[in-house]
Amino acid sequence: MFNKTVLPNGIRIITEALPHSKVVSVGVWIDVGSRDEHDLNSGSAHFVEHMLFKGTGRRSAQEIAREFDVLGGSANAFTSRENTCLHATVMDSNLPILVELFTDLLSDSLFADEEIERERQVILQEIHMVEDMPDDHIHDLFAALLWGMHPLGKTILGSHEIVAAMDSRKLREYVQKYYTTDNIVVAAAGNVEHDAFVALWQKAFDKFGQTADPALARNEPLLLPSSRRIYAKPLEQVHILLGAYGLSIIDADRFAYLLLNVLLGGNMSSRLFQEIREKRGLAYSIYSYTAAYSDSGYLAIYLGVDRESVSESLALIDKEISIFQNTPVSEKELANAKDFVKSGLFLSMENMEAIMTRIARNEMYFDKYIPLAEVIDSIDRVTGEDILRLSSKVLGRQELTITGLGPFEKAGIGWKS
């Protein structure tokens, strides 16, 4: 059973009660991420997320870590381009302790200078780690090329220079601007009683009274002409990412878009995986994925291959994209893709964290609860004609943007459109 309460200050508390469970998954979602930054504070959202665990007026960083460990289950946090989330899954009997711990982190974090300096080194190492992992780093390089100077083109971790200059004042200013009541959703799934859960949060959140400044509203990114850029680096493989602007997370065609990605390169039976890896053995890793935001998004294809196989692999990708735009997908292939997606949804409903995440994202992006049956029905209603129309809309309106990283000269990569 789903329930929702909006506190007088605007904070939304939502729950999905599943009494058969003995655990509860809780997430505090803040509608702020790396796209809510500019060139002078890049990486602030991620830095703040780290610092929330580094000491409050009542607890040291070590005591916070110990208390989470004693609670058992799992606890973590993440920052994306549009959200920050603190989450944990615990035994239902430990729910009051977890809520008290979360409210302490959110309301009384110190952002002490000595802890900032320690965590700065951790984040700088995290930046270096990503840069040393080309199959991760290329996604940031592609985003920068696709979105240009828009904040969506910046990395979530931030730049070395800005992170190195971050201080307590800047982080506190960021929290004051963006950790506002209308940006906060608290979600829980599992053995949770809604009114009792609301009562646990209500007193702690009384001090939260500020709403977001309209001047800080997000700007929709411009769609730039397609472009190509190669980054030469002495690696064993060439890493390639190519793609095009796609749909937002709330687009009416989102279910057809989901299935298009599955058919193209989203699982082991997808066309790209079968053609490039299974039939020809050109790559170990080949897949497609979608990145969807509140007002924009993209569909991309990742490929890791030997330098000598780049041209052949790109030609095969081009061929498969052309087939998608000109030949309707068969009923059997589409049915298999639907079964794959629906099976994943049903399996995720056995996981309390996945349920919590689903209701939270629906609240943040759609401002409502969306029953699973409604999602399944929407998937079932997608037709082959929908896939054909959408593939032309997304993949056929312009040449793809392409980024390459690896051991080749600028002339060593080709693309035939």
What is the length of the chain? 417
Percent of residues in the chain assigned helix, strand, coil, to nearest 5: 50, 20, 30
Q: Which residues pair with 57 in a beta bridge?
A: none
Round to whole Å and give the CA distance between 298 and 314.
19
How big is the CA angle at 115 (ends 109 and 116), to the nearest 5 degrees?
Answer: 90
Report the alpha-carbon angle 276-325-260, nearest 5: 65
CA distance 307 to 136: 19
Name the nearest CA neighbour of 260 among 168, 156, 376, 382: 382
Query: What is the rounded distance in angstroms from the CA atom of residue 267 to the CA atom of residue 301?
Result: 12
User: How does strand 74-79 pair with strand 12-17?
Assistant: unpaired
**Residue among 37, 49, 82, 363 flagged as catalytic:** 49
* Closest alpha carbon to 92 in 189, 16, 14, 27: 189
Lookup: tokens for 340 = 């794959």
Q: Are 103 and 126 in contact (CB under 8 A)?
A: no
Which of 275, 256, 262, 273 lies closest to 336 in space, CA to CA?
262
Answer yes or no: 161 catalytic.
no
Contact 404, 145 (CB under 8 A): no
Contact between 378 and 250 (Cβ < 8 Å): no
Residues 6+ apart with CB under 8 A from 85: 27, 28, 29, 30, 77, 78, 360
| Distance (Å, whole) CA 357 – CA 31 | 13
Active-site residues, by number, are 49
